[in-house]
Amino acid sequence: MVTVIQFSALIILALLAIYLFQVLFSGFRTTQLATGIAEAQRSLLQTQVAEIMGKINLEREKSEFSWSGFRKFSVHRKVPEGGGICSFYLQPHDQKPLPSFDPGQYLTFRLNIADQPKPVMRCYSLSDSPKSEYYRVSIKAVPAPRDNPDAPPGLSSNHFHDAIQEGDILDVKAPGGHFFLDTSKHTPVVLIGGGIGLTPVLSMVNQIVESGSSRETHLFYGVRNGDEHVMKEDLERVARENDNVHLHVCYSKAGEGDVEGRDYQHSGRVGVDLFKEVLPSNNYEYYFCGPPPMMNSLFEGLREWGVPEKNINYEAFGPATVKKKQEADSAGDPAASDSTAGFDVTFGKSGKTVAWTAAMGSLLDLAEENGVDIDFGCRAGNCGTCITALKSGEVDYLSEPGEKPEAGSCLACIAVPKRPVVLDA
Ligand SMILES: Cc1cc2nc3c(=O)[nH]c(=O)nc-3n(C[C@H](O)[C@H](O)[C@H](O)COP(=O)(O)OP(=O)(O)OC[C@H]3O[C@@H](n4cnc5c(N)ncnc54)[C@H](O)[C@@H]3O)c2cc1C
């Protein structure tokens, strides 16, 4: 017979057991939770350490394997891509390791072209992600301008297409440039290539997918029609195999055989109106490269849409670059100063002094306008061909120079005077 005391004792024991069980279980749960958090933290830390180590190794390799001046490369493969574009796969002739590069950077070539009195310098973006075996550039053959069909066609691009063959040797400067994807970030990106301006963003998207990054990526590619649409299968495969990559091909003037939904996704040009339609928000980092009208309208459109300037990255393939409205209004910026205000520019060797105004463009433009000879290559502040000694005065740059020239000289193709200057030209 169970007495009340025994019954009470049993109840107390049961309660004690339940209490102990609860304490033990909650302790176990807390421990489990703590272990889970610690594990998550450890794996996050491991990922961060791996990323930092990767970056350190990459930087070490870059500086260890890089070179100054020109290095000989042989053309390993020459591959026609269609649309007047040809890719060149380059391998170092000395067979030593290749330094990596940041996707978006370019190579500078020094070409000896028949009938040209001096070597011709041109820059071409690396069009694939960094690979240990080769560098790749993709070059569009530039015809004579539409409004001047009798002018000679593009010198360097046609030389690459017509004269350069597999096995040929080229002089190449190490990868350079400030327009590149920050691969240490995981923030969503919008990559935009107009025509041949696809090349640097192609390198970026390839790097993103090949590194296994799940970074949200929207790639907009604008061309006239199917005839100009290059790397079609590659891009479609990248988008098909990677959920984080969204491809938006835009044809501005689709051809008869081009089918919307099959060959391209959008009719019309790449622009901010399209971004508003297809992007969930404006909260991306933007990287773009393309023809001058596209560059200007994208920059202004993105700013008007509220995208901070720090999130807008771009590169021009020639003299044209983005003209910033807000800067044009700001006082003190020589690139944007009142077109009636100016400074005297003296070309010492030629014995000419002319008045410069912002409307006249760079010092190279001014020199050409006044019959003063200054050598040039890329006209974008990258190749260094137009470096001119500055005997007095000070200059500013319309865009960031690829490599700052030494004190006392300037890159005439992107330089504008800050006050009266005397150039050794
Ligand atoms: C950083 C950077 C990256 C680049 N990346 C790439 C890339 O990946 N792929 C690519 O294809 N390009 C790229 N470019 C552009 C490339 O460097 C060259 O500018 C392009 O190939 C044209 O050079 P060209 O020597 O063929 O033409 P140029 O000889 O410089 O001629 C340019 C134009 O002027 C015309 N012209 C020549 N002489 C006259 C005349 N007397 N009167 C009127 N018109 C004339 C030509 O017909 C042509 O239309 C890049 C440029 C930069 C700055």
Kindly report, residue by residue over 332-354, the tens digit of the pLDDT: 444 444 445 689 999 999 999 99
Average pLDDT of 239-262?
Answer: 97
Q: DSSP assignment, residue 146?
A: T
Q: Do both 377 and 298 map to the same domain?
A: no
Do 268 and 310 share a domain, yes or no? Answer: yes
pLDDT at position 24 is 66
Contact 263, 168 (CB under 8 A): no
The reply to whether 51 falls in a domain is no
Question: What's the whole-number mean pLDDT along residues 101-108?
Answer: 96
Decide if 231 is inside a domain: yes
Distance 156 CA to ligand 1 centre (A): 7
CA distance linking residue 350 with residue 425, whole number of Å: 6
Pocket test for ligand 1, best of 90, 115, 120, 156 (most atoms within 8 A of CB): 156
Is 346 within the bounds of a domain?
yes
* Same-domain pairing of 344 and 236: no
In a domain, 37, yes or no: no
33 alpha carbon – ligand 1 mean position (Å): 62
- Pocket of ligand 1 contains residue 196 by CB under 6 Å: yes
Q: What mean pLDDT value characterizes the chain? A: 88
Tens digits of residue pLDDT in 118-140: 899 999 999 999 999 999 999 99
Q: Which of 141, 176, 211 is the last residue of a domain?
A: 176
Which CATH number does the domain housing residue 397 bear?
3.10.20.30
> Among 158-172, 262-276, 399-413, where is mean pLDDT lowest?
399-413
What's the CA gap between 92 and 372, in Å, rounded? Answer: 38
Mean local confidence (pLDDT), 189-206: 98
Domain of residue 100: give its range. 70-176
> How many angstroms does the Cα of residue 102 sit away from the middle of ligand 1?
23
Residue with tokens 């046609």: 158
Kindly tell me if the per-residue pLDDT of 395 is higher than 70. yes
344 shares a domain with 315:
no
Mean pLDDT of all residues in 220-236? 97
- pLDDT score of 28: 63
110 and 119 Cβ atoms separated by less than 8 Å: yes
User: Do 200 and 312 belong together in one domain?
Assistant: yes
Residue 401 lies inside a defined structural domain of this protein: yes
Are 272 and 367 contained in the same domain?
no
Task: Give the range among 51-65, 249-263, 356-370 with minimum mean pLDDT.
Answer: 51-65
Q: How confident is the model at residue 370 (pLDDT cuts 50, 70, 90)?
A: very high
List the beta bridge partners of residue 176. 106
Q: What's the total number of domains in the chain?
A: 3
Ligand 1: does its nearest atom lie under 6 Å from the Cβ of 140? yes
pLDDT score recorded for residue 56: 75
Residue finishing a domain among 322, 354, 380: 322
Q: How far apart are CA 189 and CA 181, in angstroms?
A: 9
Instruction: Please give the pLDDT value at position 339.
Output: 43
Tell me the average pLDDT across 361-378. Answer: 91
d(Cα 366, Cα 354) in Å, to the nearest integer? 8
* Candidate from 92-96, 237-241, 326-330 with smallest mean pLDDT: 326-330
Query: Predicted confidence band at 45 (pLDDT cuts at 50, 70, 90)?
Result: confident
Same domain, 239 and 163: no
Q: Is 100 contained in some domain?
A: yes
407 and 357 inside one domain: yes
Domain contains 204: yes
Does residue 136's CB lie within 6 angstroms of at least one atom of ligand 1? no
Question: Does 17 map to a domain?
Answer: no
Which atom of ligand 1 has the smallest separation from the CA of 380?
A: 53
Best residue among 85, 228, 317, 386 to mutate for probing ligand 1, ranked by most atoms within 8 Å of CB: 317
On whether both 205 and 158 belong to a single domain, the answer is no
Mean pLDDT on 217-239: 97
| Residue that terminates a domain, selected from 292, 322, 352 | 322
Pair 92, 117 in one domain: yes
85 pLDDT exceeds 50? yes
Residue ranges of E strands in 44-163: 70-82, 85-92, 106-111, 120-125, 135-140
The more confident residue out of 93 and 33 is 93
Task: Work out the pLDDT band at 324, boundaries 50, 70, 90.
Answer: low
CATH number for 95: 2.40.30.10
The structure tokens 């919307």 sit at 260
